[in-house]
Amino acid sequence: MQKGMDCHIHTFYQRCGNETLSVPNIIRRAEALGLRKIAITDHLRYNKDKLEAFHYIKSDIDAVETDIEVFFGVELDYMECDGDFFYSREIHEDIGFEVVIGGIHQDYTDSQDISEVTEIQHRHFMKTLTNPLLDVLVHPFWFNKGAVEKRAPEFWEKLIVSVPDEMITEMAEASAENRCAIEVNSHAVFWHSGYTDKFKHGYVEFLNRLKEKGALFATGSDAHDINYIGHSYYAEGILHGLNVPKSQIWWPQKGE
């Protein structure tokens, strides 16, 4: 299995990451860690003004000399439940993003019913995986702390092992057909302080089920601080442990 891809790194330019995350700092740290491919992917939500800051990220990427491949990317979020991304082919081409990652970032319900919560997520997973502008579905079944704490730990432990077979199959097939990878996100999932070890074990089993159905995977740290860059190696270790073949690992090439 080829290793050394971190497809999900934030910066200080959009205040997504903290002040340690300038583009030169990110690239130097990635080199020191032996990463081979990285994508710098700040959030784009709602606000048109934020588009400007992406130009600074792009010019800083172009200005740094390095042997690793640095992709200029973006992370999208749905503007509302069953809504759209703040994104279009026009924005895509205007700004020149090379890697587009995105997904659902909220629970959109106070329900304590596992199937209801799962169903909302699954709808958005499928909408993302079948969007021709997207390369990666980010952190499936990550929830922010507030959403996690609304429910007991057992709720989450049960949810992650109860995703129905047909949903797993639909996700895996959509990912393979559309070449939209499902992200294994180290920081948002495996470093999540609200999730128990039991949940995290269940999460590995969830990934294994996706693998068996042929899903394509990407690995990302979701770094919001310089010290999290390269935590993507943890995600790669999980995929390695599951014997995911090379053909099921997303390995972006420049110019594609």
Please give the single-letter amino acid code of residue 26: I
Residue 107 interacts with Zn ion (CB under 5 A)? no
What is the Cβ-side half-sphere exposure of residue 152, based on CA atoms within 13 angstroms? 5
Q: Which is nearer to Zn ion, 22 or 106 (CB)?
A: 106
Residue 42 interacts with Zn ion (CB under 5 A)? no
Q: Which is nearer to Zn ion, 75 or 236 (CB)?
A: 75
Q: Which is nearer to Zn ion, 135 or 222 (CB)?
A: 222
Question: Which x/- pattern, by CB under 5 A, does the window 120-139 give for Zn ion?
Answer: ------------------x-
Burial of 31 per CB tally in 10 Å (0-12, 13-18, 19+): middle
Q: Which is nearer to Zn ion, 145 or 240 (CB)?
A: 145
Residue 236 interacts with Zn ion (CB under 5 A)? no
Q: How far is the CB of 154 from Zn ion (least distance, A)?
A: 25
Ordered alpha helix ranges (H), 71-161: 89-95, 114-129, 145-149, 153-161
Q: Which is nearer to Zn ion, 65 or 224 (CB)?
A: 224
Q: How far is the CB of 153 from Zn ion (least distance, A)?
A: 22
Looking at 20-28, 67-75, 82-90, 126-134, which segment touches Zn ion (CB under 5 A)?
67-75
Looking at 75-83, 120-128, 149-157, 210-218, which segment touches Zn ion (CB under 5 A)?
75-83
Q: How far is the CB of 246 from Zn ion (least distance, A)?
A: 26
Residue 222 interacts with Zn ion (CB under 5 A)? yes
Q: Which is nearer to Zn ion, 77 or 236 (CB)?
A: 77
Looking at 23-31, 48-56, 68-76, 227-235, which segment touches Zn ion (CB under 5 A)?
68-76
Q: Which is nearer to Zn ion, 138 or 172 (CB)?
A: 138
Q: Is 115 helix (H, G, I), strand (E, B) or coil?
A: helix
Structure-token pair, residue 213: 């159905």
For residue 81, the tally of other CB atoms under 10 A from its CB is 13
Element (H, E) at 43: strand 37-44
How far is residue 254's CA from residue 72's CA, in Å, rounded to a whole number? 10
What is the Cβ-side half-sphere exposure of residue 86, based on CA atoms within 13 angstroms? 14
Output the residue with the shortest Cβ distance to Zn ion.
222
Angstrom CA distances, 20 to 10, 25, 27, 70, 137, stand at 10, 7, 12, 18, 26
Residue-by-residue DSSP string for 199-256: HHHHHHHHHHHHHHTT--EEEE--BSSGGGTTTHHHHHHHHHHTT--GGGB----TT-
Footprint on this chain of Zn ion (rule: CB under 5 A): 75, 138, 222
